[in-house]
């Protein structure tokens, strides 16, 4: 096992790599040329202009102000400066609540760390189990870290009572923090929903599985049904077209357009030589043709095809899927329809809240009930396979991709491979690289599985994918690191052990893996977060696009990739840190400071990112919080069982009787919180709907809701290609006046106002008040 | 192990005892004096009059018609004769669906029995495992039954494939039968609800946890809240009084009244001597007083107290609990309110469908949210204790109640006990009697637990109790019989075994327990059902009351105890037979005919009982069916796992891979059925509500709903003591004209109409059409 100094070295290396990332970020972001990579959020809000409009030519690309380099860490206090209500308005509730997860981590683990270091570390350190063992076995080696962990307490010692009591204290503190956070988030959500401006989804319900009718079209059938069953509230509806083929055409056309732009630019720069391309796949082979003519022609053909397809979809009744967006005259009417059962056959006329228009996943709107059930079954089996047989295809590819295999497929590489150093490189790194590739592909695979399951909103897809990924990390990373062997071998092992044996097996090897997880926290947590802020991939992509495709300011806007919080991947990863912290809190307290540093650093970085970078694709109003809460509770229960198993191997007196109420209490706490809060995230109370309706009726008595909702739920391809990626309807900023950028500097205590400086330590004071709708 | 002839003897004994019960029933029910014991349902419907009104004195009590004794089994075809729609109208949907559970048993097990006897019995019989074993071990004994079971197939034999395939066939057949039955019951329920006449609960929602308000009373607060949030639909509401003390007084008064009547009757019969009583507990000790004076005085005092309590409850604001029955102008309005969330805090303004007025459990209407959660936690722990420590208090009482203990407490019994025969009697039977007493008390204990859990309707209480009792039977009867030892020991054993080991342990002892369960089916099933129709306890109680208390016809009516289906006890017991049938279907097919006979016989008996005897306390519209379905599926999955365990001990080739899809498929089938049907039992679709509203508005445009609903949900004690047990509001019979009894005899082919004959093989032709409301 590693000693304290080993850990210190590892910490130094990882801190260094984190600092390198941070330094690179600090320097690159000061360059005006990277401004759109590191501050896209402000461009999207229309508050920041391109720095190219003023200043000398050099100044456009490189920042020459030396003073600013000296303050390269100033982004940290800047990130903390924006108060939470402003943050919610600026970045949305989802993002604001997302970074509260890190804050929750700090809230839970700071006191726990202090307590463990105050109580458990002294108890462990004076335990002298190793000294005794050493007296018996001369060759036993142990490190300082082990002396600080529970391993240094002798089996059956009364000192274990300290650990048991602390486990109760930690659990109760976690309860308190969780309950408090759930309460706050609920309040934030309620406040957010109450303050939200008018949005189409407040009035709209998604109706799926409209039953077929011989006499009526889908549209007529929907209208009749809702006119009869919601006579006082039904307003209008929008049928859903199966425009998947059309959407593909639009996407293809866009890509062709990019190529055309690329070759046009190339031609403009070198007017002496017309660029050519090959007609085959990716321009790699095939006939050599004039590129500009070729793509112009291709686009023309596609435009015609698109036109006819558009005609077909709009006129062919079979292109209408049996689903519709039904709008109501009031939020009350929509809330009622979304929460009740319409027909006595529960598999038809299924009503749910409509997602935001930009949140709709159009491909899945037309899946019938039985097919949906079969898909879920298949995906459940597939998920099981993915988690427990994850290593099988990797091992298979790894055996294929050995030296002999490569030499067989690419004989011309033989002489190169046979060189000693290359050979060892391939043998050493290839398996690792293959594993890494699989791991990178994994979120895509999981997302595809969720899509096959048939969810109709992007937010639902992300939530479900997060659940799957969480399970994967739990089994393949957490358990997989503690017990060596593939998940399938673990499963076999578990099935052949008794239920009381499993926590023992896992529990006993937990203290031994502490140093591994400390390193893991530093590599994946510290360096990973630093890499996050550096944004390498968007940086490269932006500059590539900027060089080859951008002609106008509008092109540059499109080349900018703000990205968004990848909920489906990040949240399960945070959960892993919660789990590690909870599991090791009573076992090896030394791990806790590393977790605390991770949470603090990540909070800082992500707060900066959501202020300056990310642009969320949709706004769910923190609907994900019950999942976060549930997964932390799962981690808590796992930690309790493992600790119980560990105690049993330590022959602790009465440990089972003393500890068994803990998971029961935890489960009860989960049920209690679920009953107390969850429905506020799932249903829309009539009281609130009525309040908003009444207020709106008083303030805007002449509102024509029908016109307002007319085009809200039209498939994006029918809105013209420019609006394809960003439908106008819901963009809350559109009617707020574009405010001239004003940045307030706080430099050495005095305040300056500067019109177009790109420095970073500033607060945007835009006219926030004008946007607070009813 | 028992041989076939042992089983035959046992079958003979049990058939004999069943036949004795049946004979006693057949004879006793022909006596006019028992008419109210065996046909109370008809009296309650007002269709049958007391036979005492005509005929000679002897004929009033004894039936002298010899011909009728010859046809003593005629009740059987008579029970089958009433068609199902008429049965639903006569006895309610709950009862009609309840007996369909037995029918479902027949549907599942008849084909399975035929198939097993056709395929598995020959396969097993020619297996010759025992012959081979016998060749090796001379002292091995085996019976004919064992030769017919899977035990006679050698380990690793290819014959086991027959069992595996049959297990699939049985499962698929069970799926088909279950799906079909769920579909039929759903249709019956929909039809029943659609045809139901106007009832107060269709318009009413039970609102609990009304938040306290400083300015308003509960009543005002409720009115304001619903006027604001359901402005177009709110009609009126009824607050709930905490009248538990008052209800107790009314009950006490009734019991005193009974004693007064008893002594008055006694005095009338012997006018020479005034009866006396003692003032102590149950009149056993205390001062000797004149009984009539004493009770008259007691009743007077209590009447005064009751009056003042009634005043207090009606005028004291603190006697109003924070719950209310809120009525709406239409079924649509009520359906909406019941299915939606009202306030943004989900722990206040909780709305649910109001139970029928007679179904309300008044005591539990005022429990706040947190208390409810704590109660559920405590009861969950208590249930665990009850199931797994059931034997502990029994063993404790059994040790206390030994000879020495009794001699110590009652020294005067010493000479009696020291007699040899009495001693052995006590030692032999006392433990058994104590166990029996505990088992008899068990349903009451379970029901009390459900009451503490805080459910607000009798139907919910019964459903939850059934769930608890089912678990108890599963652990203590099924597993307890297979693996000897108390449930706690079993639990310890299971916790220390691996999950794959448990099915093996249980599975391997299953074939050995077949003869035990065959005997169990005969004793508990056959004789138990025969005892059910005999109605010993009601018979005795009725005659006791009739002798001592009855003066008028109305008294006699009250002395009559029709009883009802004890859902919480009977349904879990039926589930045990399903479980046994499914577990043994592929293992020991010989058990199946006994199960089939049970289902057939029980179907017959209960059909007779619901036609002639039981009077249901409430009508839930077969809401319980999803539970029945779920528990049969649980039985199916248990049987599959046990069979898998058994196969593993048989070294069957690839058994695990072949059998593991089966439970997965079963679970999926469960989910599928749940999605397809369950919500039809839980929610009330708006389409149906709207249909009924529209129809009612067309047929009765001048209906004053407010007056109709005015007193519907008044606490029964405020309705006067006579109506206490049977509130008038919902009794569907009240407004149907009382039809003169007409009984059609079918005797030897010709039809007679007889006005007051008490013979049984008849069909009541009452004016059923007059009751079919809109």
DSSP string, A36-105: HHH-HHHHHTT----GGGSS-HHHHH----HHHHHTTTTHHHHHHHS-HHHHHHHH-HHHHHHHHHHHHH
Cβ–Cβ gap A346/B494 under 8 Å: no
Cβ–Cβ gap A687/B229 under 8 Å: yes
Whether the CB-CB separation of A75 and A608 falls below 8 Å is answered with yes
Rounded distance, CA A679 to CA B344, Å?
8
Rounded distance, CA B397 to CA B402, Å?
9
Minimum distance, in Å, between the CA of residue A502 and any CA atom of chain B: 9
pLDDT for the residue numbered B207: 92
pLDDT for the residue numbered A109: 96
The number of helices, as runs of H, and strands, as runs of E, in chain B is 37, 9
Cβ–Cβ gap A336/B341 under 8 Å: no
Judge whether A229 is closer than 8 Å to chain B, CB to CB.
Answer: yes
Residues of B with Cβ-Cβ distance to A495 under 8 angstroms: 498-500
pLDDT for the residue numbered B487: 62
State the Cα angle at A584 between A578 and A586, rounded to 5°.
120
Rounded distance, CA B712 to CA B729, Å?
6
State the Cα angle at A417 between A414 and A419, rounded to 5°.
115
Cβ–Cβ gap A668/B336 under 8 Å: no
Q: Quick count: other Cβ atoms within 10 Å of Cβ B216?
A: 13
Helix axis angle, B567-585 to B160-195, nearest 10°: 150
pLDDT interval class at A600 (50, 70, 90): very high
Tokens of A711: 């085009």
Whether the CB-CB separation of A121 and A589 falls below 8 Å is answered with yes
Judge whether B494 is closer than 8 Å to chain A, CB to CB.
Answer: yes
Whether the CB-CB separation of B320 and B218 falls below 8 Å is answered with yes
pLDDT tens-digit profile of B714-728? 888 887 543 333 333
Give the best-scoring range by mean pLDDT among A137-146, A278-287, A571-580: A571-580
pLDDT for the residue numbered B332: 92
Q: Element (H or E) spanning B572, and its range?
A: helix B567-585
Judge whether B500 is closer than 8 Å to chain A, CB to CB.
Answer: yes
Whether the CB-CB separation of B406 and B426 falls below 8 Å is answered with yes
Look up tokens 């599959």; give the residue: B640
What is the distance in angstroms between the CA of the first residue and the CA of the last residue of chain B? 61
Rounded distance, CA B459 to CA B449, Å?
15
DSSP annotation of A737 reads: P
Q: Which among A341, A342, A686 has CB closest to B342?
A: A686
Number of alpha carbons in the 13 Å side-chain half-sphere of residue A562: 21
Q: Which among B228, B494, B495 has CB closest to A690?
A: B228
Whether the CB-CB separation of A129 and A153 falls below 8 Å is answered with yes
Give the best-scoring range by mean pLDDT among A212-226, A489-503, B1-15: A212-226
Nearest by Cα to A152 from A119, A115, A123, A114: A123
Q: Quick count: other Cβ atoms within 10 Å of Cβ A311?
A: 10
DSSP E strand boundaries for A252-374: 276-278, 288-290, 320-328, 350-353
Q: Which among A229, A342, A668 has CB closest to B377?
A: A668
Q: Residue B300, SS3?
A: helix
Cβ–Cβ gap B373/A687 under 8 Å: no
Rounded distance, CA A663 to CA A633, Å?
10
Closest chain A CA to residue B661: A381
Whether the CB-CB separation of B627 and B100 falls below 8 Å is answered with no
Cβ–Cβ gap B190/A344 under 8 Å: yes
ipTM of the modeled complex: 0.77
Minimum distance, in Å, between the CA of residue A347 and any CA atom of chain B: 6
Contacts of B157 (CB under 8 A, 6+ apart): B127, B129, B650
- What average pLDDT does range A729-743 have in this prediction? 35
pLDDT interval class at B761 (50, 70, 90): very low
Tokens of B459: 């139907």
Cβ–Cβ gap B344/A499 under 8 Å: no
Tokens of A317: 């009744």
Q: What are phi and psi of B295, to 5 degrees?
A: -70, -35
Cβ–Cβ gap B676/A346 under 8 Å: yes
Q: Which among B346, B377, B676 has CB closest to A680?
A: B346
Assess whether pLDDT exceeds 70 at residue A639.
yes
Distances (CA, A) of B96 to B99, B533, B545: 6, 17, 31
Tokens of B40: 């109370």
Rounded distance, CA B760 to CA A716, Å?
74
Closest chain B CA to residue A373: B672
Cβ–Cβ gap A679/B346 under 8 Å: yes
State the Cα angle at A704 between A698 and A705, rounded to 5°.
90
Judge whether A623 is closer than 8 Å to chain B, CB to CB.
Answer: no
Q: What are phi and psi of A242, to 5 degrees?
A: -80, 85
Residues of A with Cβ-Cβ distance to B350 under 8 angstroms: none
Rounded distance, CA A189 to CA B604, Å?
59
pLDDT for the residue numbered A755: 40
Q: Quick count: other Cβ atoms within 10 Å of Cβ B764?
A: 20
Judge whether B661 is closer than 8 Å to chain A, CB to CB.
Answer: no
Closest chain B CA to residue A494: B498
Judge whether B685 is closer than 8 Å to chain A, CB to CB.
Answer: yes
Q: Quick count: other Cβ atoms within 10 Å of Cβ B267?
A: 16
Tokens of A377: 């079954």
Q: Is A268 exposed, middle or buried (0-12, 13-18, 19+ CB in 10 A)?
A: exposed
Cβ–Cβ gap B496/A496 under 8 Å: no
Assess whether pLDDT exceeds 60 at residue A730.
no
- What average pLDDT does range A697-723 have in this prediction? 78
Cβ–Cβ gap A676/B347 under 8 Å: yes
Minimum distance, in Å, between the CA of residue A385 and any CA atom of chain B: 14
pLDDT tens-digit profile of B100-127? 999 999 999 999 999 999 988 888 888 7
The number of helices, as runs of H, and strands, as runs of E, in chain A is 37, 9
Closest chain B CA to residue A681: B344
Rounded distance, CA A475 to CA A469, Å?
10
Closest chain A CA to residue B679: A346
Q: What residues are paired with A208 via a beta bridge? A: A350
Q: Residue B753, SS3?
A: strand
Rounded distance, CA A307 to CA A242, Å?
15
DSSP annotation of B521 reads: I
Look up tokens 């959500």; give the residue: A189
Which residues of A, range 352-391, sit inside 8 Å of B by Cβ? 369-370, 373, 376-377, 381
Whether the CB-CB separation of B500 and A496 falls below 8 Å is answered with yes
Which residues of B, range 189-208, sit inside 8 Å of A by Cβ? 190
- What average pLDDT does range A53-81 have in this prediction? 68
Whether the CB-CB separation of A111 and A630 falls below 8 Å is answered with no
pLDDT for the residue numbered A742: 37
Contacts of A481 (CB under 8 A, 6+ apart): A513, A516, A517, A520
Assess whether pLDDT exceeds 80 at residue B276.
no
pLDDT tens-digit profile of A89-100? 888 899 999 999
To probe the interface with A, which of B383, B687, B693 has the most A CB atoms within 10 Å? Answer: B687
Rounded distance, CA B119 to CA A572, Å?
52
């Amino acid at each position: 096992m590693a000693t304290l100094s080993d850990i210190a070295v590892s910490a130094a290396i990882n801190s260094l790599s984190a600092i390198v990332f941070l330094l690179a970020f600090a320097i690159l972001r000061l360059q005006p040329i990277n401004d759109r990579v590191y501050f896209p959020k402000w461009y999207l809000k229309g508050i920041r202009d391109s720095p190219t409009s003023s200043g000398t030519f050099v100044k456009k690309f490189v920042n020459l102000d030396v003073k600013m380099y000296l303050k390269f860490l100033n982004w940290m206090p800047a990130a903390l400066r924006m108060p939470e209500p402003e943050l919610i308005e600026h970045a949305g509730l989802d993002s604001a609540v997302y970074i509260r997860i890190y804050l929750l981590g700090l809230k839970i683990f700071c006191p726990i760390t202090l307590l463990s270091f105050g109580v458990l570390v002294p108890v462990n350190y004076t335990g002298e189990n190793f000294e005794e063992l050493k007296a018996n076995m001369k060759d036993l080696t142990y490190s300082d870290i082990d002396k600080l962990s529970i391993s240094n307490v002798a089996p059956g010692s009364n000192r274990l009572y300290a650990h048991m009591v602390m486990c109760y204290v930690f659990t109760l503190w976690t309860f308190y923090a969780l309950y408090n956070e759930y309460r706050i988030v609920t309040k934030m959500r309620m406040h957010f929903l109450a303050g939200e401006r008018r949005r189409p989804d407040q009035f709209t319900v998604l109706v799926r599985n409209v039953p077929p009718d011989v006499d009526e079209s889908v549209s007529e059938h929907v209208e009749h049904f809702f006119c009869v069953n919601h006579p006082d509230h039904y307003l209008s509806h929008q049928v859903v077209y199966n425009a998947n083929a059309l959407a593909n055409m639009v996407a293809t056309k866009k890509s062709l357009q990019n190529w055309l732009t690329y070759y046009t630019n190339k031609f403009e720069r070198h007017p002496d030589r017309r660029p050519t391309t090959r007609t085959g796949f990716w321009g790699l082979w095939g006939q050599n043709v004039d590129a500009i003519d070729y793509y112009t022609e291709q686009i023309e053909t596609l435009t015609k095809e698109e036109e006819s397809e558009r005609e077909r979809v709009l006129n062919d009744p079979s292109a209408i899927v049996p689903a519709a967006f039904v709008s109501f005259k009031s939020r009350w009417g929509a809330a009622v329809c979304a929460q009740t059962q319409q027909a006595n056959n529960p598999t038809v006329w299924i009503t749910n809240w409509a997602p935001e228009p930009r949140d709709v996943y159009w491909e899945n709107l037309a899946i019938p009930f039985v097919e949906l059930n079969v898909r879920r079954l298949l995906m459940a089996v597939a998920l099981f396979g993915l988690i427990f047989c994850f290593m099988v295809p990797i091992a298979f590819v790894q055996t294929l991709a050995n030296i002999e295999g490569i030499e067989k497929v690419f004989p011309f590489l033989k002489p190169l491979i046979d060189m000693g150093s290359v050979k060892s490189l391939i043998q050493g790194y290839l398996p690792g690289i293959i594993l890494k590739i699989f791991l990178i592909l994994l979120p895509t695979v999981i997302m595809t599985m969720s899509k096959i399951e048939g969810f109709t909103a992007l937010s639902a897809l992300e939530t479900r994918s997060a659940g799957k990924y969480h399970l994967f990390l739990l089994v393949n990373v957490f358990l997989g690191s503690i017990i060596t062997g593939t998940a399938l071998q673990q499963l076999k092992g578990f099935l052949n052990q008794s239920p009381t044996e499993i926590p023992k097996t896992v529990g006993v090897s937990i203290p031994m893996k502490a140093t591994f997880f400390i390193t893991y926290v530093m590599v994946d947590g510290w360096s990973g977060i630093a890499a996050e802020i550096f944004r390498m991939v968007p940086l490269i992509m932006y500059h590539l696009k900027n060089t080859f495709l951008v002609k106008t300011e509008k092109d540059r806007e499109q080349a900018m990739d703000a990205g968004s919080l990848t909920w489906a991947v990040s949240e399960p990863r945070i959960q892993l840190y919660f789990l590690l912290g909870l599991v090791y809190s009573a076992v090896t307290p030394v791990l806790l400071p590393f977790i605390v540093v991770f949470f603090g650093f990540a909070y800082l970085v992500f707060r900066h990112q959501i202020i300056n970078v990310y642009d969320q694709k949709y706004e769910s109003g923190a609907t994900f919080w019950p999942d976060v809460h549930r997964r932390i509770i799962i981690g808590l229960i796992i930690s309790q069982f493992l600790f119980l198993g560990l105690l049993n191997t330590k022959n602790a007196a009465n440990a089972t009787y003393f500890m068994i109420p803990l998971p029961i209490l935890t489960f009860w706490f989960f049920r209690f919180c679920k009953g107390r809060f969850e429905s506020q995230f799932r249903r829309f109370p009539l009281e609130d709907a009525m309040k908003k309706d009444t207020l709106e009726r008083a303030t805007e008595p002449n509102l024509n809701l029908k016109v307002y909702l007319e085009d809200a739920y039209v498939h994006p391809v029918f809105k013209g290609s420019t609006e394809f990626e960003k439908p106008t309807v819901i963009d809350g900023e559109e009617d707020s006046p574009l405010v001239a950028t004003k940045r307030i500097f706080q430099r050495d205590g005095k305040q300056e106002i500067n019109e177009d400086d790109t420095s970073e330590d500033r607060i945007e004071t835009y006219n926030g008040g004008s946007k607070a709708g009813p």
